[in-house]
Amino acid sequence: MPPPVSNTAHAPAPEESVVVRAAVADDLPVVIDLDRRNTGLPKPDYWHDLFARYGARDGRFFLVAEARGTVVGFIIGEVRAWEFGSPPCGWVFALGVDDSVRLSGVGSRLFESICEGFRTAGVDKVRTMLAVDDNLNMSFFRSQGMMGGPFIQLEKALD
Amino acid sequence: MRLQKATRCALFAVLELAGQPDRQLSATDIAERYGISSNHLAKVLRDLGRAGLVESVRGAGGGYRFAGNARRLTLFDVIALFEDVDAARPMGREPGDHTENGQALRLVLQEIDDIARATLRSITIDTMLKTTQWRRDRAARAETVR
Protein backbone atom coordinates (compact mmCIF):
# COMPACT_ATOMS: atom_id res chain seq x y z
CA MET A 1 0.00 0.00 0.00
CA PRO A 2 1.51 3.38 -0.98
CA PRO A 3 2.18 5.91 1.78
CA PRO A 4 -0.47 8.58 2.26
CA VAL A 5 0.10 11.70 0.18
CA SER A 6 0.52 14.86 2.17
CA ASN A 7 -0.05 18.35 0.84
CA THR A 8 2.44 19.77 3.30
CA ALA A 9 6.19 19.49 2.89
CA HIS A 10 7.69 18.89 6.32
CA ALA A 11 11.29 19.74 5.67
CA PRO A 12 12.82 22.64 3.79
CA ALA A 13 13.48 21.65 0.21
CA PRO A 14 16.90 22.47 -1.14
CA GLU A 15 16.54 25.25 -3.70
CA GLU A 16 17.83 23.09 -6.56
CA SER A 17 15.11 20.47 -5.98
CA VAL A 18 12.33 23.00 -6.53
CA VAL A 19 10.63 23.01 -9.92
CA VAL A 20 8.59 26.03 -10.98
CA ARG A 21 5.93 25.46 -13.63
CA ALA A 22 2.61 26.82 -14.84
CA ALA A 23 -0.28 25.86 -12.59
CA VAL A 24 -2.77 23.26 -13.77
CA ALA A 25 -6.31 22.70 -12.53
CA ASP A 26 -5.21 19.76 -10.37
CA ASP A 27 -2.98 22.12 -8.34
CA LEU A 28 -5.90 24.24 -7.18
CA PRO A 29 -6.89 22.23 -4.07
CA VAL A 30 -3.32 22.52 -2.73
CA VAL A 31 -3.07 26.21 -3.65
CA ILE A 32 -6.42 26.91 -1.99
CA ASP A 33 -5.33 25.05 1.13
CA LEU A 34 -1.95 26.80 1.22
CA ASP A 35 -3.63 30.19 0.91
CA ARG A 36 -6.13 29.26 3.62
CA ARG A 37 -3.31 28.32 5.98
CA ASN A 38 -1.36 31.50 5.20
CA THR A 39 -4.29 33.93 5.37
CA GLY A 40 -6.74 32.13 7.64
CA LEU A 41 -9.46 32.69 5.04
CA PRO A 42 -10.74 29.93 2.72
CA LYS A 43 -11.82 31.36 -0.65
CA PRO A 44 -12.15 28.53 -3.20
CA ASP A 45 -14.45 30.49 -5.57
CA TYR A 46 -11.86 33.25 -5.83
CA TRP A 47 -9.11 30.78 -6.69
CA HIS A 48 -11.16 28.93 -9.31
CA ASP A 49 -12.05 32.25 -10.92
CA LEU A 50 -8.41 33.36 -10.77
CA PHE A 51 -7.24 30.15 -12.41
CA ALA A 52 -9.81 30.58 -15.19
CA ARG A 53 -8.54 34.10 -15.85
CA TYR A 54 -4.80 33.63 -15.28
CA GLY A 55 -3.98 29.99 -16.02
CA ALA A 56 -2.07 29.62 -19.30
CA ARG A 57 -2.86 33.05 -20.74
CA ASP A 58 -0.54 35.33 -22.70
CA GLY A 59 0.93 38.03 -20.47
CA ARG A 60 -0.59 36.36 -17.40
CA PHE A 61 1.28 34.04 -15.08
CA PHE A 62 -0.03 31.59 -12.50
CA LEU A 63 3.01 29.59 -11.44
CA VAL A 64 3.50 26.95 -8.77
CA ALA A 65 6.64 25.62 -7.08
CA GLU A 66 6.86 21.89 -6.64
CA ALA A 67 9.27 20.18 -4.26
CA ARG A 68 9.44 16.40 -4.02
CA GLY A 69 6.19 16.13 -5.96
CA THR A 70 4.28 18.51 -3.70
CA VAL A 71 3.15 22.03 -4.49
CA VAL A 72 4.79 24.27 -1.87
CA GLY A 73 4.19 27.72 -3.28
CA PHE A 74 2.56 29.86 -5.93
CA ILE A 75 2.94 33.26 -7.53
CA ILE A 76 0.54 35.14 -9.79
CA GLY A 77 1.04 38.19 -11.93
CA GLU A 78 0.41 39.84 -15.25
CA VAL A 79 1.65 42.53 -17.56
CA ARG A 80 -0.24 45.77 -16.98
CA ALA A 81 0.00 48.88 -19.08
CA TRP A 82 -0.78 52.58 -19.00
CA GLU A 83 -2.41 52.79 -15.60
CA PHE A 84 -2.03 56.50 -14.87
CA GLY A 85 0.73 56.73 -17.45
CA SER A 86 2.72 53.67 -16.34
CA PRO A 87 4.41 52.02 -19.35
CA PRO A 88 3.88 48.23 -19.58
CA CYS A 89 5.31 46.49 -16.52
CA GLY A 90 4.99 43.21 -14.66
CA TRP A 91 2.61 43.15 -11.70
CA VAL A 92 2.80 40.51 -8.98
CA PHE A 93 -0.38 40.35 -6.96
CA ALA A 94 -0.30 37.01 -5.14
CA LEU A 95 2.46 34.99 -3.53
CA GLY A 96 2.30 32.13 -1.08
CA VAL A 97 4.88 29.70 0.24
CA ASP A 98 4.25 26.81 2.59
CA ASP A 99 5.63 27.91 5.95
CA SER A 100 7.44 24.59 6.39
CA VAL A 101 9.76 25.47 3.49
CA ARG A 102 10.27 29.17 4.15
CA LEU A 103 13.83 30.52 3.89
CA SER A 104 14.85 27.72 1.55
CA GLY A 105 14.67 29.70 -1.67
CA VAL A 106 11.19 28.67 -2.88
CA GLY A 107 9.89 32.25 -2.95
CA SER A 108 13.03 33.40 -4.73
CA ARG A 109 12.61 30.72 -7.40
CA LEU A 110 8.99 31.70 -7.94
CA PHE A 111 9.87 35.39 -8.16
CA GLU A 112 12.77 34.77 -10.55
CA SER A 113 10.53 32.64 -12.76
CA ILE A 114 7.75 35.19 -13.02
CA CYS A 115 10.32 37.93 -13.69
CA GLU A 116 11.70 35.80 -16.51
CA GLY A 117 8.15 35.52 -17.86
CA PHE A 118 7.78 39.29 -17.68
CA ARG A 119 11.09 39.79 -19.48
CA THR A 120 9.99 37.39 -22.21
CA ALA A 121 6.77 39.39 -22.49
CA GLY A 122 8.92 42.44 -23.23
CA VAL A 123 8.78 44.46 -20.01
CA ASP A 124 11.72 45.58 -17.90
CA LYS A 125 10.07 46.52 -14.61
CA VAL A 126 8.18 44.56 -11.98
CA ARG A 127 5.85 46.07 -9.39
CA THR A 128 3.65 44.94 -6.56
CA MET A 129 1.40 46.43 -3.86
CA LEU A 130 1.32 45.25 -0.27
CA ALA A 131 -0.37 46.07 2.99
CA VAL A 132 1.84 48.43 4.95
CA ASP A 133 1.91 45.98 7.88
CA ASP A 134 2.58 42.87 5.75
CA ASN A 135 6.13 42.59 6.98
CA LEU A 136 6.63 39.01 5.75
CA ASN A 137 5.95 39.78 2.09
CA MET A 138 7.48 43.26 2.29
CA SER A 139 10.75 41.79 3.60
CA PHE A 140 10.69 39.11 0.92
CA PHE A 141 10.22 41.53 -1.97
CA ARG A 142 12.86 43.84 -0.49
CA SER A 143 15.24 40.90 -0.36
CA GLN A 144 14.66 40.45 -4.09
CA GLY A 145 15.83 44.01 -4.72
CA MET A 146 12.45 45.74 -4.91
CA MET A 147 12.24 49.28 -3.56
CA GLY A 148 9.68 52.04 -3.26
CA GLY A 149 8.66 53.21 -6.72
CA PRO A 150 7.20 56.32 -8.29
CA PHE A 151 3.56 55.37 -7.63
CA ILE A 152 1.67 55.60 -4.38
CA GLN A 153 -1.46 53.80 -3.24
CA LEU A 154 -4.40 55.95 -2.11
CA GLU A 155 -7.82 55.04 -0.81
CA LYS A 156 -10.88 56.43 0.91
CA ALA A 157 -13.86 54.93 2.67
CA LEU A 158 -16.99 54.93 0.50
CA ASP A 159 -19.58 56.23 2.93
CA MET B 1 13.93 61.48 7.87
CA ARG B 2 17.10 62.24 9.80
CA LEU B 3 18.87 59.77 12.02
CA GLN B 4 20.86 60.74 15.08
CA LYS B 5 24.63 60.48 14.88
CA ALA B 6 24.78 57.43 17.17
CA THR B 7 22.18 55.63 15.08
CA ARG B 8 24.10 56.21 11.86
CA CYS B 9 27.29 54.98 13.55
CA ALA B 10 25.45 51.86 14.73
CA LEU B 11 24.08 51.12 11.26
CA PHE B 12 27.49 51.59 9.65
CA ALA B 13 29.11 49.33 12.25
CA VAL B 14 26.50 46.59 11.90
CA LEU B 15 26.64 46.69 8.10
CA GLU B 16 30.43 46.71 8.04
CA LEU B 17 30.75 43.83 10.50
CA ALA B 18 27.91 41.76 9.00
CA GLY B 19 29.45 42.23 5.56
CA GLN B 20 32.68 40.62 6.76
CA PRO B 21 31.44 38.03 9.24
CA ASP B 22 34.74 36.13 9.34
CA ARG B 23 36.82 39.18 10.26
CA GLN B 24 37.25 41.18 13.42
CA LEU B 25 37.36 44.92 12.91
CA SER B 26 38.41 47.55 15.41
CA ALA B 27 36.39 50.68 16.13
CA THR B 28 39.22 52.63 14.47
CA ASP B 29 38.97 50.55 11.26
CA ILE B 30 35.27 51.30 10.95
CA ALA B 31 35.50 54.91 12.09
CA GLU B 32 38.19 55.73 9.52
CA ARG B 33 36.17 54.21 6.71
CA TYR B 34 33.08 56.30 7.47
CA GLY B 35 34.81 59.44 8.72
CA ILE B 36 33.28 59.27 12.18
CA SER B 37 34.71 59.63 15.66
CA SER B 38 36.26 56.37 16.92
CA ASN B 39 35.49 57.35 20.53
CA HIS B 40 31.84 57.84 19.67
CA LEU B 41 31.80 54.60 17.69
CA ALA B 42 33.41 52.68 20.56
CA LYS B 43 30.52 53.73 22.81
CA VAL B 44 28.00 52.72 20.15
CA LEU B 45 29.72 49.34 19.74
CA ARG B 46 29.40 48.77 23.48
CA ASP B 47 25.65 49.42 23.18
CA LEU B 48 25.45 47.02 20.23
CA GLY B 49 27.38 44.47 22.28
CA ARG B 50 24.90 44.76 25.16
CA ALA B 51 22.11 44.15 22.62
CA GLY B 52 23.89 40.99 21.43
CA LEU B 53 24.44 42.27 17.91
CA VAL B 54 28.24 42.43 18.05
CA GLU B 55 30.82 40.75 20.23
CA SER B 56 34.30 41.87 21.09
CA VAL B 57 37.28 39.65 20.50
CA ARG B 58 40.23 40.29 22.80
CA GLY B 59 43.93 39.89 22.11
CA ALA B 60 46.17 40.53 19.12
CA GLY B 61 44.09 41.04 15.98
CA GLY B 62 41.06 41.45 18.18
CA GLY B 63 38.20 43.79 17.56
CA TYR B 64 34.49 43.37 16.99
CA ARG B 65 32.53 40.88 15.00
CA PHE B 66 28.88 40.57 14.04
CA ALA B 67 26.88 38.30 16.33
CA GLY B 68 23.34 38.78 15.03
CA ASN B 69 21.26 37.08 12.35
CA ALA B 70 21.61 39.22 9.23
CA ARG B 71 18.55 37.64 7.61
CA ARG B 72 16.36 38.53 10.59
CA LEU B 73 17.82 41.77 11.92
CA THR B 74 16.17 44.81 10.34
CA LEU B 75 17.20 48.45 10.06
CA PHE B 76 14.32 49.21 12.41
CA ASP B 77 15.72 46.84 15.06
CA VAL B 78 19.05 48.68 15.06
CA ILE B 79 17.53 52.15 14.93
CA ALA B 80 15.13 51.33 17.77
CA LEU B 81 18.13 50.67 20.05
CA PHE B 82 19.10 54.32 19.78
CA GLU B 83 15.94 56.28 18.96
CA ASP B 84 12.29 56.23 19.90
CA VAL B 85 10.94 55.35 16.46
CA ASP B 86 8.18 52.99 17.51
CA ALA B 87 5.92 55.46 19.26
CA ALA B 88 3.07 57.02 17.34
CA ARG B 89 3.13 60.82 17.59
CA PRO B 90 1.02 61.74 20.60
CA MET B 91 -1.80 64.13 19.80
CA GLY B 92 -1.96 67.54 21.45
CA ARG B 93 1.75 67.97 22.12
CA GLU B 94 2.48 70.87 19.80
CA PRO B 95 0.84 74.27 19.35
CA GLY B 96 -2.20 74.00 17.10
CA ASP B 97 -2.64 70.26 17.60
CA HIS B 98 -5.99 70.85 19.30
CA THR B 99 -7.43 72.48 16.16
CA GLU B 100 -9.06 70.68 13.21
CA ASN B 101 -6.23 71.78 10.92
CA GLY B 102 -3.68 70.69 13.47
CA GLN B 103 -5.29 67.25 13.65
CA ALA B 104 -5.43 67.00 9.85
CA LEU B 105 -1.74 67.86 9.71
CA ARG B 106 -1.07 65.21 12.34
CA LEU B 107 -2.81 62.60 10.18
CA VAL B 108 -0.57 63.40 7.22
CA LEU B 109 2.58 63.28 9.36
CA GLN B 110 1.36 60.03 10.90
CA GLU B 111 0.94 58.55 7.42
CA ILE B 112 4.52 59.47 6.57
CA ASP B 113 5.78 57.98 9.84
CA ASP B 114 3.82 54.76 9.27
CA ILE B 115 5.37 54.29 5.84
CA ALA B 116 8.85 55.06 7.19
CA ARG B 117 8.46 52.49 9.98
CA ALA B 118 7.10 49.83 7.60
CA THR B 119 10.03 50.46 5.26
CA LEU B 120 12.62 50.19 8.02
CA ARG B 121 10.97 47.05 9.41
CA SER B 122 11.04 45.35 6.00
CA ILE B 123 14.73 45.81 5.22
CA THR B 124 17.08 43.31 6.80
CA ILE B 125 20.83 43.73 7.14
CA ASP B 126 21.21 40.91 4.62
CA THR B 127 19.02 42.80 2.13
CA MET B 128 21.11 45.95 2.67
CA LEU B 129 24.30 44.02 1.96
CA LYS B 130 22.77 42.44 -1.14
CA THR B 131 21.61 45.86 -2.33
CA THR B 132 25.15 47.17 -1.99
CA GLN B 133 26.45 44.21 -3.98
CA TRP B 134 23.82 44.68 -6.70
CA ARG B 135 24.73 48.36 -7.01
CA ARG B 136 28.42 47.41 -7.24
CA ASP B 137 27.68 44.76 -9.92
CA ARG B 138 25.52 47.18 -11.89
CA ALA B 139 28.21 49.84 -11.81
CA ALA B 140 30.79 47.27 -12.95
CA ARG B 141 28.55 46.19 -15.84
CA ALA B 142 28.03 49.82 -16.87
CA GLU B 143 31.79 50.34 -16.75
CA THR B 144 32.35 47.27 -18.96
CA VAL B 145 29.83 48.53 -21.53
CA ARG B 146 31.61 51.91 -21.60
Domain borders along chain B are 5-145
- Structural domains in chain A, CATH included, are 15-143 (3.40.630.30)
The predicted pLDDT at position B90 comes to 62
User: Closest residue of B to A138, CA-based?
Assistant: B122
Let me know: does A27 contact A54? Beta carbons within 8 Å: no
A81 versus A16: the higher-pLDDT residue is A81
Give the mean pLDDT of A75-104.
94
Burial-class residue B53 by CB neighbours within 10 Å (0-12, 13-18, 19+): buried
Give the mean pLDDT of A95-121.
94
Give the mean pLDDT of A39-52.
94
Does A62 score more than 80 pLDDT? yes
ipTM surpassing 0.90: no
Whether residues B121 and A135 touch (CB distance < 8 A) is answered with yes
Q: Which residues in A lie closer than 8 A to residue B74 (C-beta atoms)?
A: 139
Does B89 score more than 80 pLDDT? no
- Phi and psi at residue A31, to the nearest 5°: -60, -45
User: Closest residue of B to A103, CA-based?
Assistant: B71
3-state SS class at A100? helix
Does B78 score more than 90 pLDDT? yes
Q: Which residues in B lie closer than 8 A to residue A138 (C-beta atoms)?
A: 118, 121-122
- Phi and psi at residue B56, to the nearest 5°: -95, 145
The least confident of A3-17, A133-147, B17-31, B61-75 is A3-17
B115 versus B146: the higher-pLDDT residue is B115
Angle (deg, nearest 10), helices B75-82 and B100-122: 120
Q: List all residues 6 or more positions away from A125 whose beta carbon is below 8 Å from its beta carbon.
A: A87, A89, A90
Mean pLDDT of chain A: 89
The least confident of B29-43, B52-66, B89-103 is B89-103
Find the Cα–Cα–Cα–Cα dihedral B134, B136, B137, B140, rounded to 10°.
160
Give the mean pLDDT of A64-75.
94
Does A6 score more than 70 pLDDT? no
Does A8 score more than 50 pLDDT? no
User: Closest residue of A to B125, CA-based?
Assistant: A143
Does B71 score more than 50 pLDDT? yes
Let me know: does A121 contact A97? Beta carbons within 8 Å: no
Whether residues A138 and B121 touch (CB distance < 8 A) is answered with yes
Q: Which of B71, B114, B126 sits opposite A132 (nearest CB)?
A: B114
Let me know: does A65 contact A110? Beta carbons within 8 Å: yes
State the fold for domain B5-145: Arc Repressor Mutant, subunit A (1.10.10)
Neighbours of B6 (CB within 10 A): 16
From residue A41, alpha-carbon distances to A45, A64, A98, B47 in Å are 12, 20, 15, 43
pLDDT per residue as tens digits for the range B97-128: 899 999 999 989 988 888 999 999 999 999 99
Q: Work out the pLDDT band at A14, boundaries 50, 70, 90.
A: low
Q: Work out the pLDDT band at B2, boundaries 50, 70, 90.
A: confident
Whether residues A135 and B118 touch (CB distance < 8 A) is answered with yes
Rounded percentage of chain A residues whose pLDDT exceeds 70: 90
